Amino acid sequence: MAQISVNEYLGLYLDKNYQTLTNQANFVAIIKEMVPNLNWVGFYLYDGKELYLGPFQGKAAVQTIPMGEGVCGTSAEKRQTLVVDDVHAFAGHIACDDASNSEIVIPIIKNNNLIGVLDIDSPIKNRFDQETVKILEKAVDFLFDFL
């Protein structure tokens, strides 16, 4: 597709007339397609107690993550974006795909409620530079209206 931004692409597929699950599924597909060098993109959603695996693209992954555990549970508990330049140096990192070397987890909070996190892995160390973080956070902002 010629020169279209991530958010323009999302605008073509996300729609309030569709189920949240449908919008989330297309969201991860678009991020995986548009952002280079990623091996896993998906949601871990919050059920009020722990995180459970949502729509994703990549290898089969751990089904649930307790709050405070792994990169996802830590990001969810702190309600903070976490950029991990080298997952092997993150104590408590939960490995799902041996290919992963760096990771970003962005919490999704709507009206002060934790919906879950967006988890993205890359086979390249230090993959998530300022520019990529900005693109991903902008995409998550766009998604809020469709959750």
Provide the CA 145 distance to its chain's centre, in angstroms.
16
Structure tokens given for 56? 């994703």
| DSSP result, 38-92 | -SEEEEEEE-SSEEEEEEEESS---SEEETTSHHHHHHHHHT--EEES-GGGSTT
**From candidates 93, 107, 127, 136, binder to ligand SME by CB under 6 A:** 93
Nearest-approach distance from CB 110 to ligand SME, in angstroms? 21
Burial class of 46 by CB neighbour count within 10 A (0 to 12, 13 to 18, 19+) = buried
Nearer to ligand SME, 62 or 114 (CB): 62
Nearer to ligand SME, 18 or 85 (CB): 85
Q: Is 104 in the site for ligand SME (CB under 6 A)?
A: no
For tokens 């766009």, the residue is: 142
**From candidates 9, 101, 106, 121, binder to ligand SME by CB under 6 A:** 121
Residues 33-72 close enough to bind ligand SME by CB under 6 A: 40, 61-62, 65, 70-72
| Residues near ligand SME, by CB under 6 A | 40, 61-62, 65, 70-72, 93-94, 96, 100, 103, 119, 121
